[in-house]
Structure 1
Amino acid sequence: MRAFLAKLHHWTGITAGLVLFVLALSGSILVFDDEIDGALNPHLFAVEEGAPSDLDAGLAVLRESLPDFQLAFIRLPRTPEHPVEFWSSDEPHLIAYVDAGAGKLLGMRGEKDGLVGFLKDLHIHLLMGESGHTANGIVGILVLFLLISGAVLAWRKGRFARLFKPRLRGVPLAASAFDLHRFTGTVGWALLFISALTGVMLVFYRVTAYALLLTLGGTPPSQPPAIERVEGAPSLSLEEIKDIAAREMPEAVPTWIRLPADEKSPVVVRYRHEEDPHPNGTTYGAFHPQTGKLVSSYAWEGKGTGMWLSDLKYPIHIGDFWGPAGAAIVLATGLVPIVLMGSGAYLFFRRRGFFRK
């Protein structure tokens, strides 16, 4: 049984290894996505200091410069140094970067354009759209199997301490590679398990969220109710919507605004509370686009244990959950599969005579 498990572990590692290497490398680089994007595209983030952001002025600039732009979402500035991002309804989305204080269009690009866009598409979709996204989840399941089977293979009674003492000198290269493989797998096991598990949850989010809700309880967000338009009444401006949203939930910060897709849809504002680990927040308010009346809301504090755990998958996966140490943790997690795949591939092919003279 142990020999069969070892073979299955080896072949699974070879099958998933290349994709895992790509995911680990791209994920480690994306820890610094904002810094890389700002360095490579400074013109998109050249916001003038002093002038307060005005969403209506920004929208006017967008309409004048890009009259055919089909606006769907607005990402509000994360800091005073960030522009307003206007996202189109097209997929992949077009993003217009606007200095809403100075009334200036800074530039436009597709969400998959540029180095950071390419790396995100590679990491999330393997450059293959939804089929690549699903393949990503399957690879994550294979990684979970590798971790569990590797732990079973490494565990031997009375030899646990040896896992933490790799022989890297004075022994044949194969012995060093074997010890390095076991040591890295042991030390980085929890990090890689958490990363793979949250990655699988992000891909198969409906199934995993349903399972958590079924077992632990909770309330998922629902679609806001349809509204009735007030005949002859104008729509509120973006600034009016933002001000109403801020007054409705003063303890939270609005992060995104979703505009109505049709005459029956409200404006949806996404919020982030300071205690919410999700970088975009998981609180929502739906407002009537003409009266500003709050027609429905969903608060992160009352969503229940199952939904709370489900929503943790993203901040844990990208490192935000861990606070200042998050970037270092994600980098360390990315290094683990690179070492495991390198040492595992060497041992696999060496046993098959690839490195013999």
Structure 2
Amino acid sequence: MGKKKKYGIRTFINDVHLWLGLVSGIILFLVCLSGTILTFEKEIEGWFKEKLTVEATGPKKSLSSLVNDPNIRAKGTITGMTIPTAENSPYQFSIKEDPKQRRGTTYEVNPYTAEVLAPKETGMDKFMFSMFRMHRWLMMDIKWGRPIVGIATIIFLILAISGIVLWFPKKVKWKTVKSGFKIKTNANWKRINHDLHNTLGFYSCILILIMGITGLCWSFEGYRDGLSAIMGTRVFGNRGGQEVDLDSFDNGRTINLEEAIAIANRELNYEGTLTVSLPNEKNPVYGFRKLADDSWSTVAQDRLNVHQSGQVISKDIYADKPLNVKIASAIKPIHTGTIYGGFSKWLYFLACLIGTSLPVTGTIIYINKLKKKRKRRRSLATA
């Protein structure tokens, strides 16, 4: 009889990796699959929607004339707009069709003709919303779905870390390590399946860890508070602003929209997409966000608040923020992969796709090992 193998730390890690993977496999598959689809949510939805054609047919209409256009005003209360720099891009107007709406509906507006394109919900919109519910709550009640997804995410983090440990061979030598960097395509299907799990899991582990660490911010409030304490700044809801006495800025003068935008472009003097929040009875402030056309990231937006009297209340330049505030403000785009635009989206798409495959390939590996053990027992029994 052969010597009985010792139950060491590596065997323990392997068992943890195996059983946690089997227990959470279906949930992780669904969360990763929905995450993979949601990576290009806006692009996919755009394929199924009517697009507003914009041609430069002369000078653009003034924003004041667009805001006061009867066809646009008939849609509801205009709360803000986004003004791109491209000549052939439509403006986007945020319109509250009902006072109870929180953010309103986004309408596309032709800046040359005032033509309005109302958004129409498509079957793809409904499908994407179901994927969102799947990703966040497994299409369950939020009370139950959110913590279940959160626990599955913690398990995924443990699987990623233990997987990295198991990726390294017992004897770390270049000859044995380099085989883990490639998939042996000329081998039998069992070896190919093993390599798909082992190698692709290794390549995607960093992004999986990033997605897991940031994703827990939506699952557990305590985790979010703890991360905020560690980072020294608030995760979600931190705009870097301070409460000010708005009455002190009231000088009896009221500027129009064009004047407010002129102030914003003077203070934020570069080419970029400008988003405007209009003042109202409760808040007499023009809020501006501007993203430079040559910006390295989708989150590198500068902010400006201008009182309707024309005085600048606050100016928040992204480049001047401390690193911890920059990271905290980027948690969502870091999680979704939008932080570096199309480049990071493709990386996240591939990582999510691999994450979706890992429970499948891992289960197949386990089944193959069970079959191998059964054959060995039968051969010993008949010997």
Aligning the two structures, in what range does the TM-score lie when normalised by the shorter sequence?
0.7 to 0.9
* Structure 2 residue matching 1:251: 3-state secondary structure: coil
Letter paired with 2:268: M
1:243 corresponds, among 258, 262, 281, to: 262
Supply the distance in 2 between the matched residues of 1:292 and 1:83 (Cα, whole angstroms). Answer: 24
Task: State the TM-score, normalizing by the size of structure 2.
Answer: 0.72
Letter paired with 1:221: G
Structure 2 counterparts to residues 24-43 of structure 1, below 5 A: 24-43=32-51
1:46 aligns with 2:62: no
* Structure 2 residue matching 1:297: 3-state secondary structure: strand
1:28–1:334 Cα contact (<8 Å) kept? yes
1:147–1:189 Cα contact (<8 Å) kept? yes
2:84–2:273 Cα contact (<8 Å) kept? no
CA deviations on 1:126-164 (whole Å, 9 max, x unpaired) are 456865566655544332221101112232223423323
Supply the distance in 2 between the matched residues of 1:283 and 1:87 (Cα, whole angstroms). Answer: 23
CA deviations on 1:7-59 (whole Å, 9 max, x unpaired) are 3323433454444434444444445445433331124x333433526433333
Residue 270 of structure 1: how far off its partner (Å): 1.1
Residue 269 of structure 1: how far off its partner (Å): 0.8
* Structure 2 residue matching 1:188: 3-state secondary structure: helix
Structure 2 counterparts to residues 114-153 of structure 1, below 5 A: 114=125, 118=129, 121-122=132-133, 125-126=136-137, 138-153=151-166
Supply the distance in 2 between the matched residues of 1:206 and 1:98 (Cα, whole angstroms). Answer: 41
Question: What does residue 303 of structure 2 align with?
Answer: 284
Q: Flag the structure with larger Rg.
A: 2
Number of equivalent positions: 345
Q: Which moved more, 1:241-250 or 1:57-66?
A: 57-66
CA deviations on 1:163-216 (whole Å, 9 max, x unpaired) are 235455454x444423321111122222333333344457766653442236xx
Question: What does residue 114 of structure 2 align with?
Answer: 103
Question: What does residue 299 of structure 1 align with?
Answer: 317
1:77–1:85 Cα contact (<8 Å) kept? no
1:141–1:196 Cα contact (<8 Å) kept? yes
Structure 2 unaligned residues grouped into runs of 5+: 1-8, 376-383
* Structure 2 residue matching 1:267: 3-state secondary structure: strand
State percent identity of aligned pairs: 21
Supply the distance in 2 between the matched residues of 1:107 and 1:157 (Cα, whole angstroms). Answer: 63
Question: What does residue 208 of structure 1 align with?
Answer: 227
Task: State the TM-score, normalizing by the size of structure 1.
Answer: 0.77
Structure 2 counterparts to residues 255-294 of structure 1, below 5 A: 255-260=274-279, 262-264=281-283, 266-273=285-292, 276-279=295-298, 281-289=300-308, 291-294=309-312
2:21–2:362 Cα contact (<8 Å) kept? yes
Supply the distance in 2 between the matched residues of 1:52 and 1:261 (Cα, whole angstroms). Answer: 26
2:299–2:333 Cα contact (<8 Å) kept? no
1:181 aligns with 2:188: no
